[in-house]
Structure 1
């Protein structure tokens, strides 16, 4: 496709018809500010100058350009004064090479292509090499030699997918479908609750289809996976839509082309109003796959995904994503890195899901698609989070009511307005009283048997630090240990001297795990069957999280709370050639997680944060006891 400078009226009209096939005389007249009679006369003159190498014909009131002899047509265009500065860009040059080859029935001489683009042979060969590399991912080949002629070898559908995903901009930038056709398509799509993104994508597919039909390149063969689309409700919708469009275009759309036009619908991004998609039937394959994903996440991470209000939307997303993967349709995720950073646990869930999808479809799932799945999992995690606010707070102060009033005043700046704050002296409190509260803030060391979370604080405290501790309490209300003053890490609050292990590099990975479990069992943290369950779990699937971190975990019947132990290797312990474990986070998980599930998510989040930083892994692996870990945390002054 060429970019034509607007130098005279004949050039302008030819340019409009080249780039806007199926356009009316009125549309051309409006663009040029002349009468339709003038347009018709100019087109007669153009046909005379084209000398039969090309023909501008009119069908059902629409002009169509037919090119009979491309080489001589290009010469006529040049004689008309049409000049191209289009070829200063390598992408544009590659697009032009592809466009010429895909519309030629005979080998195209390289000297002719280079001359048309006014570039040297060395430049052309460089462009051709890069273009060939691009073509490989679409199973397309440019066959032939530079001195004998080139031709494009490949399936018509693959050619179109290449055009749509890699070359659409340069080739179709100014190829405009007439407005009444676009409006007809848009109207029908809007009536069926398709969003603007889906409509734009449908029009892209339609543009490529019309261009290929006009150049006598129809889809002659389709794989079974495409043929199956003919039996769907989406095909019925597309079939009716194209019946309406055929009334205003001088082209008949064959059945294979109609099947092709199902793709932009079944691969679209999920619209805001998914309930309004009447003609799209989600496959049983999708429902089964979603259930498998939920089961896998529960099995591997002990986290239950309960989509709730978002279930239908998530299922539609998975349906569209499966189709994109199955039919090789790529989408870009512009915030992929932000998603990986902000939703690290959700991204891990999405990576697990990716394995199931790839196994089922035998196709690769891109990182962009993984990112979009992670966004949904992030929503589910947030939506299922423990939502109760801290309503009742007890302040215990041993140094007079004025100090307590100052603390109360500061707390009111931080807690929600609904919170009730009561003040007590250290002499007034007892177990029964304090266990009625949601949170206790004390400047005094309590000796009562208290289940309520406690934050020990100074009389004048840092509000930012306290906000972090409040956030912790939201996820640790069921813990029977007070939070450590000044330490924000949930991992540190779950660990202690008895749960910190320096592991032996001379023993195997499994032998070290057994040593950790035996010690935890002797101290009453895990039940007698814990080791055997962990062994079976490891035999089925190793729980090495990434290259340097392992997270062995299994149900623990000894406690209603999560038990966490940390084992460190000063050197690395090789599991295989790709994994060298330095840190082992051993988890005992209650049979019924309940509110502890959110705590588990926070634990995973911290572990993933460590996994991202090789220096942290290295420093932590060298520590010799739990107190060293606390000191390291204080020195770092951040959550691990």
Structure 2
């Protein structure tokens, strides 16, 4: 994604988080750009996605039409001639990777993009540099290009490239023109996933079902492009790999049945290693069902889970304890360790939104993950994985949020103040009203009520009192209620 697309996405996510009007000055400050750039971005977004997606009001700024925003999918051009340079290179790379180690004619690769020799040469340099991160080599001979390297590296690179990482509902893969997939293959693979779920008596949720789909689709696509997989794929399984399969006969049999179906579908014989690869994906997936939740874990899984719980408890300054919390997180950590050890990557389509909405939690999780990787000699834990872990702690905070200790302050502390108290308690149960006081007692209430989070007042509060306050009318109007709701959200965000 280019810098311009990143700015557009960042602007939309920021407006989605605020749920209210935001001035151009605030937007420019948050995004680290100028107000003129903000004006251009908003104009471009509305031109691309339809007028009214970002609404404006003089004196108040800009606001996102949230319903319109969430109803829209990512827009991608349907014609190759409209692809951006990055999208063009990704498509060319995908074709080369699927065909590896076979060479492809340069003219055939770039024919439909209508670009000249200088652009092609530049694309080659960028593609070669990108492939190096997977320890793959782009080889040019005369007028052909080929990608050379290990099969595992090739499949990993393809998985990171194929355009379906914004899919959350797996059925959305059907008849989706933006994905450029073979629809017969899509339907076949979806049937295999349903069969696997039926045999296991469990459901494979997002993102693991997408990951398994990706693995099988890449396998089928590779076999269509090459006559025979590299010799390394046809080697017999090692003794330790065979022992792992024998220890988990259920997943082995399910994996074997799915690969046999692929063989029948393609009329091709596959090496036993493909059964093992699919088995790895299944052991690296979290599943849902009556038998899916594990209650006993290896010492390593238990220790890593406790490192996360203790580390996040310290960083968020809240107690995070309980068997149910431990079990829930440990059931995620167990397959995550398998993914790390097997080199299996999951893509998190919600990552940008998670980082924006739960910025503090995500940052803290990232620090704990770095500690886990070093302490337990694991590969670096990716942002995608950290995003999923962040959701566990966001849920813990949301469901175990401490009440906001509130004092109501009025001129006399009686009469209308008691009416205000009744209205507030009825509308906002998350507020714990510890007392109703008169304004003349304001100087003494801090000694009587330490740890107050909010003063709800009908009179001005002295600047000497260092507690968040909100001035409302004694009648507690609709506008007062809306302002109080935003204040509550701000207090929770700071926590």
TM-score if structure 1 supplies the norm length?
A: 0.47
Q: Hey, what does 2:229 align to over in structure 1?
A: 217
- 8 Å Cα contact 1:344-1:605 kept in structure 2: no
Q: 1:278 to 1:204 in 2, by over 3 A?
A: same
Q: Hey, what does 2:203 align to over in structure 1?
A: 194
- Does 1:488 pair with 2:484? no
Q: For 2:162 and 2:220, how far apart are their aligned partners in 1?
A: 16
How many Å apart are 1:115 and its aligned residue? Answer: 6.2
Q: For 1:207 and 1:246, how far apart are their aligned partners in 2?
A: 13
**Structural mapping, 1:385-404, within 5 Å:** 385-386=401-402, 404=414
Q: 1:171 to 1:406 in 2, by over 3 A?
A: closer
**Structural mapping, 1:196-595, within 5 Å:** 197=206, 198-214=208-224, 215=226, 216-217=228-229, 219-220=233-234, 230=245, 231-232=247-248, 234-243=251-260, 250-268=267-285, 270=286, 273=288, 275-277=290-292, 284-297=299-312, 303-336=318-351, 338-340=353-355, 342-359=357-374, 360-386=376-402, 404-416=414-426, 438-445=434-441, 451-452=448-449, 460-461=458-459, 485=465, 487-488=467-468
Q: 1:282 to 1:240 in 2, by over 3 A?
A: farther
Q: 1:134 to 1:376 in 2, by over 3 A?
A: same
Q: Hey, what does 1:153 align to over in structure 2?
A: 148
Q: Note the alpha carbon deviations across 1:252-301, whole angstroms, 9 max, x for none.
A: 33221112223443444x55x46543799965532221123334445677
Q: 1:483 to 1:298 in 2, by over 3 A?
A: farther
Q: 1:143 to 1:307 in 2, by over 3 A?
A: farther
Q: 1:457 to 1:247 in 2, by over 3 A?
A: closer
- 8 Å Cα contact 1:293-1:356 kept in structure 2: no
RMSD of Structure 2 on Structure 1 (CA): 4.8
Q: For 2:79 and 2:456, how far apart are their aligned partners in 1?
A: 73
How many Å apart are 1:362 and its aligned residue? Answer: 4.2
Q: Note the alpha carbon deviations across 1:117-169, whole angstroms, 9 max, x for none.
A: 77532232122222223212222111245x37543211111111211220356
Q: Note the alpha carbon deviations across 1:541-593, whole angstroms, 9 max, x for none.
A: xxxxxxxxxxxxxxxxxxxxxxxxxxxxxxxxxxxxxxxxxxxxxxxxxxxxx
- 8 Å Cα contact 1:350-1:374 kept in structure 2: yes
Q: Hey, what does 2:129 align to over in structure 1?
A: 133
Q: Would you say how many aligned residue pairs link Structure 1 and Structure 2?
A: 367
More helix by share: 2
- 8 Å Cα contact 1:333-1:371 kept in structure 2: yes
Structure 1 portions without partners, runs of 5+: 1-83, 420-436, 466-481, 490-601, 607-640
What secondary structure, in the 3-state scheme, does the structure 1 residue paired with 2:147 have?
Answer: strand
- 8 Å Cα contact 1:193-1:277 kept in structure 2: yes
- 8 Å Cα contact 2:283-2:335 kept in structure 1: yes
Q: 1:122 to 1:394 in 2, by over 3 A?
A: closer
TM-score if structure 2 supplies the norm length?
A: 0.58
- 8 Å Cα contact 2:159-2:215 kept in structure 1: yes
What secondary structure, in the 3-state scheme, does the structure 2 residue paired with 1:152 have?
Answer: strand
- Does 1:123 pair with 2:119? yes
Q: 1:138 to 1:241 in 2, by over 3 A?
A: same
How many Å apart are 1:335 and its aligned residue? Answer: 4.7
Is the deviation greater in 250-259 or in 113-122? 113-122
- 8 Å Cα contact 1:351-1:370 kept in structure 2: yes
Structure 2 portions without partners, runs of 5+: 1-77, 165-177, 470-490
- 8 Å Cα contact 1:347-1:371 kept in structure 2: yes
Q: Note the alpha carbon deviations across 1:313-337, whole angstroms, 9 max, x for none.
A: 3222223333444444444445545
- 8 Å Cα contact 1:354-1:370 kept in structure 2: yes
- 8 Å Cα contact 2:139-2:147 kept in structure 1: yes
Q: 1:485 to 1:369 in 2, by over 3 A?
A: same
Q: For 2:316 and 2:265, how far apart are their aligned partners in 1?
A: 56
How many Å apart are 1:366 and its aligned residue? Answer: 2.5
What secondary structure, in the 3-state scheme, does the structure 1 residue paired with 2:394 have?
Answer: helix
Larger Rg: 1
Aligned counterpart in structure 1 of residue 162 of structure 2, from 146, 159, 167: 167
Q: For 1:327 and 1:223, how far apart are their aligned partners in 2?
A: 15
What secondary structure, in the 3-state scheme, does the structure 1 residue paired with 2:184 have?
Answer: coil
Q: Note the alpha carbon deviations across 1:403-449, whole angstroms, 9 max, x for none.
A: 71111111211124899xxxxxxxxxxxxxxxxx9435233438799
- 8 Å Cα contact 2:293-2:331 kept in structure 1: no
Q: 1:134 to 1:407 in 2, by over 3 A?
A: same
Q: For 2:459 and 2:90, how far apart are their aligned partners in 1?
A: 65
**Structural mapping, 1:10-21, within 5 Å:** none
- 8 Å Cα contact 1:186-1:199 kept in structure 2: no
What secondary structure, in the 3-state scheme, does the structure 2 residue paired with 1:413 have?
Answer: helix
Q: For 1:302 and 1:239, how far apart are their aligned partners in 2?
A: 48
